[in-house]
Amino acid sequence: MNFTQTCSSRTFRQKQIPGITLILASLLFSCDQGDNLGDVKQATEVESQIRESTVSGVKQGPPVYDPKAGGWAVEEWNEKITSSLKKLSKKIISDENWEVFAESLSNNFESAFFSIPIVPESIADGKVAVFSKHGDPIEHPSFASSLKNLISSVALLGTLERVSFKVVDIKELDNNKIQSEVIVHFGGKSKGTYRELKGPMKMRWSIKEDSTNLVSAQGTFTASLSTIGKFVDVTESAFGNIADFKDQFYRGQDYWTSRIEMLTGIDVGGWQGVSIADVNGDNLDDIYIAQPGGLPNRLYVRNSEGGFEDWSKSSFINFLDSSHGNLFVDLDNDGDQDLVAGVQEGFLIMENNGAGVFSKRVAQLLPSAVPYSITAADYDKDGDLDFHVCGYNRKAGIQHHLFARPIPYHDANNGGRNALFRNDGNWQFKNVTVLEGMEENNQRFSYAASWEDYDNDGDMDLYIANDFGRNNLYRNDHGAVEGPRFKDVSEEVGVVDIGPGMSVTWGDYDNNGLPDLYVSNMFSSAGNRITSQERFHNSADQITRNYYRRHAKGNSLFTNLGNGVFEDHSISRGVNVGRWAWASRFEDMDGDGYQDIHVANGFITQSDSGDL
């Protein structure tokens, strides 16, 4: 059994008195505090009284980015190319004389060669299909005609809702010529089918002081069709009967950070996470939402009508402390879901009575790191579930833990320490991190971990995704060796994946009986452009330069070869561009027996639509 929560956690607070550490339990259990609803309502009432303030009567905006300022010509060229392509995108979507604009953008155009996949008119209902088999490349004398042929092809059928061009590489040629590599994405719905066409396009430009002119274009595309349909937002119908739901969750993080004292543990990151479990044994999934410090965690229990009821207070798990990485799992083998709640000073273990009412069994301090995610499995095969805690950052400087400085940036080794806890029964849990061999390479910035028996030897191994550097794969050699059972084999099996690791998911995507590995990182078009230039970090050796470049590559798919090693198929399978990716998951979305990949991406949602 493998239970994984890929977000994060923190919670009880301590106060130092000479020689004594007091755990302030009153902060943990807010059931006697009226769920803090007074604060919520008061904040709602005073919102209209808060006005934008200025310093000395002058409001200053953010500095304007100037690509010329650093002497990076490649970014100046990118600014011109991107500006032209953005205008083209908007005109194509709005169908506003885009062919005329495309012609004006490509004076003295030489040729375009596009390879378009062979795509059927339709696919079965409730399915997703990807097509990469191409016919012969088609040459067009003009850029406008080549795009028109692309858009009107069976792959798209002319109806577009999304068009984007991402410049990922630029090289200077001769005679004022620039070659750019651009990731192109077209998407829309036609004849009841969602259609996408995407792929790399090489675009050659003539750039002068007063003009940006496209000379040629070559592209090879992959098409995908989906008849699954759109997901429907049912938030209002599911939670509309809960009085305080909108007051608490329809506001952005900025709203609360401007109203709640920082010492409560509130922060700007908003990385608390959501957990799903059947807490009351009615075979319906319930939702537990972790909150920043100062706001109560919420438990919403599903009812038979399809809506939810607020059980936060009656369940006794409405903690006011900052929480991350909460995991529901049966720790005492009584058939119900108990709770391991990561909190700022360590973790809490809450026993479920089977009806959705919880009582505290364990309050464990973790002095070396702030917990960020928790995952459980029976690693020692004794019949009960043990769990692993990812500690993202060291405890020192805890008020600023979200933005700690990794040293070195590309391969940081100054993060927090993770911990492995063995379940010894009767609510006794022992920290066996060192004993079992998981102290090896254990100072990374760990976000998430997942258990899987990747080598099919009958015991659970653990992969850990680390920010700012290399990841860990701890192979479980239970019974094969004496001493510590875990060994970090990430180097020897080919899954180090140096980068900004965010999450990990296992799944057999090629249906060969072997678990494959998908790791979320960050894709950056700017990072790809900059790190490919000769002047980038030119005082460093090539290995270090490659590490930096790897940080911008994006997500990683490692195929299990069955001989104990993996092979990176991220780019060849077309799954590396997940943007700023966080949690990812293998799941069969269309029920065809093959594992698809769902990627959650972005960062902090604000009023600016261009914000991450």
Give me the long-range contacts of 317-320 (CB less than 8 A, separation at least 24).
317/288, 317/341, 317/350, 317/358, 318/30, 318/31, 318/35, 319/11, 319/27, 319/28, 319/29, 319/30, 319/343, 319/348, 320/27, 320/28, 320/30, 320/33, 320/36, 320/264, 320/293, 320/294, 320/295, 320/296
pLDDT at 452 over 90: yes
Distance of CA 508 to the CA centre of its chain: 20
Q: What is the pLDDT of residue 2?
A: 46
Q: What is the pLDDT of residue 481?
A: 62
Q: What is the pLDDT of residue 140?
A: 84
Q: Give domain limits for the chain.
A: 2-29+232-601, 74-226
- 94: burial class by Cβ within 10 Å (0-12, 13-18, 19+)? exposed
Q: What is the pLDDT of residue 66?
A: 58
For residues 84 and 79, what is the distance between their CA atoms, to the nearest angstrom? 9
Which of 11-15, 70-74, 180-184 bottoms out in mean pLDDT, i.e. has the lowest?
A: 11-15
State the chain's mean pLDDT as an integer.
83
CA atoms within 13 A on the CB side of 291: 27
Q: What is the pLDDT of residue 607?
A: 62
pLDDT band at 27 (very low <50, low <70, confident <90, very high): very low
Residue 608: how many CB atoms within 10 A of its CB? 7
Mean pLDDT value across residues 316-328? 91
Q: What is the pLDDT of residue 138?
A: 81
Q: Which residues contact 573 (CB under 8 A, 6 or more apart)?
A: 557
pLDDT tens figures, 225-250: 999 878 889 999 999 889 889 888 88
Mean pLDDT value across residues 380-398? 85
Mean pLDDT value across residues 302-324? 92
pLDDT tens figures, 530-585: 888 888 888 888 888 888 888 889 999 999 999 999 999 999 898 999 888 888 99
pLDDT band at 456 (very low <50, low <70, confident <90, very high): very high
CATH architecture of 74-226: Roll (3.10)
Mean pLDDT value across residues 62-84? 73
Which CATH number is correct for 2-29+232-601, 2.130.10, 1.25.40, 3.40.50, 1.20.58? 2.130.10
For residues 465 and 449, what is the distance between their CA atoms, to the nearest angstrom? 6
pLDDT band at 400 (very low <50, low <70, confident <90, very high): very low
Maximum average pLDDT range among 262-266, 268-272, 568-572: 568-572
pLDDT at 340 over 80: yes
Q: What is the pLDDT of residue 175?
A: 74
Sign of CA dihedral 277, 283, 450, 590: negative
SS3 460: coil
pLDDT band at 397 (very low <50, low <70, confident <90, very high): low
Q: What is the pLDDT of residue 534?
A: 83
Q: What is the pLDDT of residue 41?
A: 39
Mean pLDDT value across residues 66-94? 83
Rg of the chain, C-alpha, whole Å: 27
Q: What is the pLDDT of residue 603?
A: 74
pLDDT at 606 over 90: no
Q: What is the pLDDT of residue 598?
A: 92
12 or 1, greater pLDDT: 1
Q: What is the pLDDT of residue 230?
A: 80
pLDDT band at 126 (very low <50, low <70, confident <90, very high): confident
pLDDT cut 70: percent of the chain above it: 84
Q: What is the pLDDT of residue 478?
A: 79
Backbone angles phi, psi at 215, to 5 degrees: -100, -40
Tell me which residue of 450, 448, 261, 443 sits closest to 371, measured CA to CA: 448
pLDDT tens figures, 430-446: 999 999 999 999 999 99
Global pTM reads: 0.84
Which of 50-54, 91-95, 587-591 bottoms out in mean pLDDT, i.e. has the lowest?
A: 50-54
For residues 419 and 364, what is the distance between their CA atoms, to the nearest angstrom? 12
For residues 598 and 577, what is the distance between their CA atoms, to the nearest angstrom? 12
344 or 558, greater pLDDT: 558
